[in-house]
Chains A and B, each alone.
Chain A
Amino acid sequence: MAVSEETAAPEAKARPGERTPRARRKGSWRTALTFWYFVGPFAVGLFVFSYVPVIWSAYLSFFDARNTVTPEPENFVGFGNYVTMIKDRAFQDSLVTFTVFALLMVPLTFGFSLALALLLNKVRTARAFFRSVFFLPFACSYVVASLVWKMSIFNGVRYGLMNSILDLFGIDDVAWLFDPTPPWYWLVIVSLRLWIQSGFYMILFIAALQQIPEQLYEAAYVDGAKPGWKTFWHITLPQLRATSVAVLMLCLIAAYQAFDEFYNLIGNQAYARPPLMYLYTTALGITQDLGRGSAGALILALLIAIVTLLQGKILGFGNAEGK
């Protein structure tokens, strides 16, 4: 990350004293104009499509706003929507679903993508081929993957791939997605996301592995450390610190936003309904309750901000640059 510090622009370098204060003011006015020429369109869009919606939504969250985005003043309910949301069993369940999902997903993705990167670094032949194969699922949308997982691999009927394999061993068909006990649906959901995302994080780990100075391993070798677990724990892993923190954060944020595969694999079922699914049905389902939906969105935004900050603190986000 080459970040050269900003230095004064050519205009400002013109010999001081030669310009009258008025001319200088004109100059800064011109600089401002040029700046907004570049940044203006983006800044206006950011304001209209990031700041205004959040503020508007915060406003709506204090009203009984069913089927409307401009509630009447008499429909003011104070913190009513927030209280209803927090007390709502379904909302609480969705947070539990997210927690289980994150606890499964984050460590598995981390371990598996790191393992892929390490394995790739060990072979000499067909490296580019393997990298492409592991990265290729990233081209698949969650919708396409859900389709394959639901209709083919984990199809609950006899001609599904997994059930065909179980058949070979004389095991009865499993209804993978629609029988919450035992919770086989987690296997479906986790394997799908692992398939799509591992290659992405593997690329990040490969980039980081290639930055580790060779001399560290040579020095360790001279000191008698055989390549293996020892060098992995004492050299590779510490050197990957910054990337590991980034991968854990990205994984967690991605898990938090999970929606596509739940929607397409399971739909709106109480046993596996992540927070975004719940928000979707509250705000855009039959009830169109934008007041409660907004309250829920703000609660979630606040939660993710807290979790991100906490995780950053625990993992030493601030000094994780490794330089």
Chain B
Amino acid sequence: MALGSQRKTPVGYRPGRGGKASRAAVFAVLCVLAVIFLIPFYLIVRNALATDAEITAPGWLWFSPDPAWENVSRLFNDENVPMARSLLNSAVVAVMTTVGTLFLCATAGYGLARIPYRHADKVFYMTLATLMIPGAIVFVPNFVMVSSLGWLSDYRGLIIPTLFSGFATFLCRQYFLGFPRELEEAARVDGLGYWGAFWRIVVPNSGSFLAAIAVITFVGAWNAFLWPLVIGRSQDSWTVQVALSTFLTAQTISISQLFMAAAVAILPLIFVFLFLQRFLVQGVAQTGLKG
């Protein structure tokens, strides 16, 4: 597609395409869709701050006139509800998974991209081969592995098997192949080895790429369900998703508590969205390159 100009104008920004009326119609459609998309969030907030009687009352109550903030303390003070513990577990798992994945996959990706080792491409193909099988399907084999290591109901079982992402390594390799080689060579003239060049030159200059991988890994780890459900056999090792699911399917807590728990569970990711959305969008766009 050599069309001369490298200008990347978003389609639809040109004058003359679509009149004012059609743009207004599109705008109206988008507004309606936006309202529909926000309804579930509205329901979480409304139900979390209402009493059970208000939720189940006949006739739709738009919002509790007297927001039931005591639902927060009821949720965290209920001894039968391991809310604080499960939030802690989720935080540990998500942070450790993110740090571990980033470290392992970035170093491996760099090694595969830059170090002229004879068998490097064989290792790369072995990595690519694991992308053929979707991760979730191998939960049975992985369960076999983890249970024989004695890591059930354990942070090690929750975290370690998920760290070795063939896909993240693939993305890192592709990114580092495109990293300007001159920068690294300058560093090597100054006497830094590969390791030094990687940490002093490559990593500090790859901030937004690594942040994108980190954010998308964090979101995935916080929201993961099947693997924590398989591994978290004892209540102490439940992540917040497993805890929520148990409240939901066993109906052990009241409906307003349930929604308060959901609100608390999505809060960290709402912050990620508010402050790190740029990296998340970038991460998603990179994920799409898989195809």
Residue ranges of A at the interface with B (Cβ–Cβ < 8 Å)? 1-4, 6-12, 28, 31-32, 34-35, 37-39, 41-43, 45-46, 48-54, 56-57, 60, 69-70, 116, 119-126, 129-130, 132-153, 157-159, 161, 164, 195, 200, 203-204, 207, 209-218, 227, 236, 242-243, 245-247, 249-250, 253, 256-257, 259-260, 263-264, 267, 276, 279-280, 283-284, 290, 293-294, 296-297, 300-301, 304-305, 308, 317, 320, 322-323
Contacts and interface: CB of A to CB of B under 8 A. Distances in A.
Given A132-B273, A147-B262, A38 B115 contact: yes
A123 B12 CA distance: 8
Contacts of A304: 133-134, 137
A159 B47 CA distance: 12
A139 B266 contact: yes
12 contacts: A1-B174, A1-B178, A31-B117, A50-B166, A119-B29, A141-B222, A141-B266, A142-B223, A143-B245, A144-B244, A203-B288, A305-B133
B227 to A, nearest CB: 10
B273 A139 contact: yes
A279 B126 CA distance: 27
A305 B134 CA distance: 9
Nearest to A198: B37
Contacts of B141: 53-54, 56-57, 294, 297
Contacts, number: 340
A242 B4 CA distance: 22
Interface residues of B, number: 116
Nearest to A60: B144
A3 B174 contact: yes
A50 B165 CA distance: 10
Question: Which secondary structure dominates where chain A touches chain B?
Answer: helix
Contacts of B58: 158-159
Q: Which of A148, A161, A217 has the most CB of B within 10 A?
A: A148
A6 B118 CA distance: 13
Nearest to A219: B3
Nearest to B14: A214
Nearest to A276: B136
B132 A35 contact: no
Contact of B26 (A119, A139, A210): A119
